[in-house]
Amino acid sequence: MSQPSFLNRQGLHLRPDPARVIVRPFKPATEPRDLNPTDKMRANHIVERVLALNSEAVAAQLADVLDNFEGRHRNLLERFEARADDMEDAFATHGAFSKTQRQLIGAYFLSEYSFEASALFNPSIVPHPDQSGAPEGGKRFIISLRAIGEGHVSSLTFRTGTIAADGSLTVDPTARLASLPRISHRASGPDGDRVELTFRPEEDLSERVIFPVTESQSNGIEDARFVQFSDGDRKTYYATYTAYSGRAIRSELIETSDFMSFRLTPLRGAAAHNKGMALFPRKIGGSYAMIARQDNENLYLVYSDDLSTWEGGQALLKPQFPWEFVQIGNCGSPIELDEGWLLLTHGVGPVRKYSIGAALLDKRDPSRVLARSSEPLLRPEPSEREGYVPNVVYTCGAMRHNDQIILPYAVSDTFSSFATIRISALMEAMRR
């Protein structure tokens, strides 16, 4: 079956680049577990070997490390020293390190990680908080993407771009370097750690990588669904994402106003014990509202008074058409139109083929489904069927611009592309 005439695939692709690397903590242990006594013994052996070198040898080894790696990362000596400080609790009692010894020791407990070597997919899109420089009638945007590297660990990375007045898209060149944030605050609670992360102003947005920093996220930060949330005149960017520990999943929340400082918080309640939650871009009837999938099959509407606790919910959409008989889920936050809330959905059909459809919800009462697409808006084309997970198109969030929906989407869990949809034609095509 051919694609709808109102959908236009863009010749624009975001592909994983194994040359983009971060430096992350390395321990002589099987990650991510803490150091046991044997691991600590191995760590101290490394320290002893460095301390056995004379000062000239230490300086020569450090110079060789810098010659190999300094152009690949910012503030490398500073990172070496900070890593040595982080490892201090594992070290046996020792005399004071010289500055050079501390830097070289820190280098032994770091490793490069190609964070998007395997995949760059499941994007979401929001307006950029800084619209200076946007073309007349156009808009700057931010794309968030799930990146996967060695060990299938997922992290969060970003791109910026521009929509022209005619709806054409450009994505800005990616920074050569990549950087991790500083953990500016960490607080433990019964539901897990709440952390605040801060990047440096000089680090380009495409340079910033949010890598797992808590136990619940240790194997991945997956499928962030960003939305620009309006509360009166105040605009905040939120994203729900799946935290994966290697054993369990749960939904957590990112909050930012500038994409430089981020707060990551666990969500509570029965509705947060699954993946795929998507926040409405404003309160409904005085309450926060989410679209969620609680049973791995249907979509639910859930309300909360405090943004942190999500219980109960009512069934909203169930599989109805053959292309979604296995299950349905949301494809990001609902988009507010004059006609109602446009909810993009994904459906799983025969041979686990993922396609993207849509539903229209009542603006005042989103539990009322006004219309629904009986056929997919977007399905894997023959050229898009091959990849890490074949036969999948997927998105974590689209955005309205004038009379179009700007839809970034992932292809077979490998790379990302874009499509645009004419809103008026979509409204006419949906089944009421």
Q: Would you say residue 33 has pLDDT above 80? A: no
d(Cα 121, Cα 145) in Å, to the nearest integer?
6
Over residues 300-318, the pLDDT tens digits come to 999 999 999 999 899 999 9
Phi, psi at 403, each rounded to 5°:
-100, 20
Identify the bridge partners of residue 24 per DSSP, sorted by sequence position: 111
pTM, entire model: 0.94
Tell me which residue range forms the domain holding 393.
7-20+115-431
The whole-number pLDDT of residue 430 equals 92
Last residue within a domain, chosen from 83, 114, 145: 114
Q: Would you say residue 1 has pLDDT above 80? A: no
In a shared domain, residues 98 and 127 = no
Q: Of the given ranges (21-30, 140-149, 199-208), which has the lowest mean pLDDT?
A: 21-30
For residue 167, being part of any structural domain is answered with yes
Over residues 348-357, the pLDDT tens digits come to 999 999 999 9
Strands (E), 199-296: 209-210, 220-231, 234-244, 249-256, 261-266, 278-279, 288-292
In a shared domain, residues 69 and 188 = no
Report the pLDDT averaged over residues 172-189.
95
For residue 126, being part of any structural domain is answered with yes
In a shared domain, residues 181 and 326 = yes
In a shared domain, residues 202 and 247 = yes
Last residue within a domain, chosen from 114, 149, 170: 114
Residues 6+ apart with CB under 8 A from 83: 25, 106, 107, 109, 110
Report the pLDDT averaged over residues 384-404.
94
d(Cα 161, Cα 323) in Å, to the nearest integer?
33
Q: Would you say residue 29 has pLDDT above 60? A: no
In a shared domain, residues 396 and 328 = yes
Give how many domains the chain has, as a whole number: 2
Last residue within a domain, chosen from 114, 129, 154: 114
In a shared domain, residues 147 and 84 = no
For residue 1, being part of any structural domain is answered with no
For residue 259, being part of any structural domain is answered with yes
Percent of the chain past pLDDT 70, that is, above it, reads: 98
In a shared domain, residues 102 and 159 = no
Over residues 317-361, the pLDDT tens digits come to 999 999 999 999 999 999 999 999 999 999 999 999 999 999 999
In a shared domain, residues 70 and 186 = no
Q: Tokens at residue 228, please?
A: 């620009």
For residue 201, being part of any structural domain is answered with yes
In a shared domain, residues 191 and 237 = yes
Q: What is the CB-side half-sphere exposure of residue 242 using CA atoms within 13 A?
A: 22
For residue 342, being part of any structural domain is answered with yes
Give the chain's length.
432
Residues 6+ apart with CB under 8 A from 28: 35, 39, 42, 43, 46
CB distance 253 to 307 below 8 Å:
yes
In a shared domain, residues 340 and 424 = yes
Burial degree of 134 (CB within 10 A; 0-12, 13-18, 19+): middle
In a shared domain, residues 42 and 13 = no
Q: pLDDT averaged over the chain?
A: 94
- CATH number reported for the structural domain that contains residue 244 in this entry: 2.115.10.20
Place of tokens 């964070």: 115
Place of tokens 């500038």: 258
DSSP helix/strand/coil, 111: strand
In a shared domain, residues 262 and 236 = yes
